[in-house]
Amino acid sequence: YLIRHAEKDRTDKTNANPSLNLNGELRAQKWSTYFKDIPLDAVYSTNYYRTIETATPTAFSKDLKVLKYDPRNMYDSIFRSETKGKTVLVVGHSNTTPVFANKILGEKKYENMDDNDNASLFIVTISGDNKTSKVEKVN
């Protein structure tokens, strides 16, 4: 499962690492509710306030720590070996979430997300050599 962080605080345009705004905090809780009945083995996030804050309610509800990943090295051999056969949530950004899905699939299927899209859920399934994917809107 791959999602973009929830709505961020846009009041200070110079802040490269803003936290979530109130709507974002509410959406982070909604993600936790969405994943309530889905067993997760791990929750990954980039090292930004907004992604960590989006991942935390879901990780907390599963008694998991939020693990950090570097978006410059996404889906590398280490990540692949650590997640093989597991169900994981990856929280990223509008320009990394679709790229991450593409890297898993081994093809350029998805374009960057709209900057206002905080509701898309990319679901990528690997079963043996077979890889499938879909995108759902979760409001």
Six-digit token string for 118 = 């905080």
Q: Where are the beta strands (DSSP E) in the chain?
A: 2-4, 42-45, 66-68, 88-92, 120-127, 130-137
Answer yes or no: pTM beyond 0.95.
yes
Hey, is 12 helix, strand or coil? coil
The per-residue pLDDT for range 60-104, each reduced to its tens digit, is 999 999 999 999 999 999 999 999 999 999 999 999 999 999 999
**Residue-level pLDDT at 108:** 96
Residue 110 to residue 43: CA distance in whole angstroms: 22
**Residue-level pLDDT at 126:** 95
In sequence order, the β-bridge partners of residue 127 are 130
**Residue-level pLDDT at 100:** 97
Neighbour count for residue 100 (Cβ, 10 Å): 22
In terms of residues, how long is the chain?
139
Contact 20, 7 (CB under 8 A): yes
Specify the residue for token string 């169900």: 87
The per-residue pLDDT for range 18-54, each reduced to its tens digit, is 999 999 999 999 999 999 999 999 999 999 999 999 9
